[in-house]
Amino acid sequence: MTYRVCFVCTGNICRSPMAESVFRARVEEAGLDGLVEVDSAATGDWHEGEDADPRTRSVLDQHGYALDHTARTFRPSWFARLDLVLALDAGHLKTLRRLAPTAQDAGKVRLLRSYDPAADDLDVPDPYYGGRDGFEECLRMVEAAADGLLAAVREDLEGRQP
């Protein structure tokens, strides 16, 4: 059975596609690409149909991450097929939990940085209105959480084994 993860930010052009790209790479490195499906979306439709921000693409490319992406909006109906929904900041967390059709679905929503034991602030700041440094910082935060997230997903997968 496939384990499905979706990263969600405001417009799905900066933080969530970056997280999707980094986590997909971690999943592939771990040999779990046949078992884990990685996706991303936005809380709003401002950038629906657009590519990721050029700064996101540039930073990911510079660090060796691949990205094939078109922005889209998260739909409440997706909860039924997702195992984990990862919000990039507290505002997204609140929005996603409000969209959740059931309490069980709301329980699927977590903050990405909660998987980084060294994080003191669980929000990944939006780099959109700043320069390249903000995108580099975003990547560092996402990478720091990716290993803990991978361990949690692997544990969930092992728990599903008969």
**Beta strands, E only, the chain:** 3-9, 36-42, 84-87, 109-111
Answer yes or no: 15 catalytic.
yes
Does the annotation mark 105 as catalytic?
no
Exactly one of 4, 72, 110, 126 is catalytic; name it. 126
> Quick check: is 9 catalytic?
yes
34, containing H or E segment: none
Catalytic-role residue among 15, 26, 55, 57: 15
Q: Are 86 and 80 in contact (CB under 8 A)?
A: no
| Residues 127, 110: Cα–Cα separation, whole Å | 20
- Rounded to whole angstroms, the Cα distance separating 159 from 83 reads 13
CA torsion angle 107 39 31 110 (round to 10): -20
Which residue in 9, 26, 89, 105 is the catalytic one?
9
Contact 135, 142 (CB under 8 A): no
Please list the active-site residues. Answer: 9, 15, 126
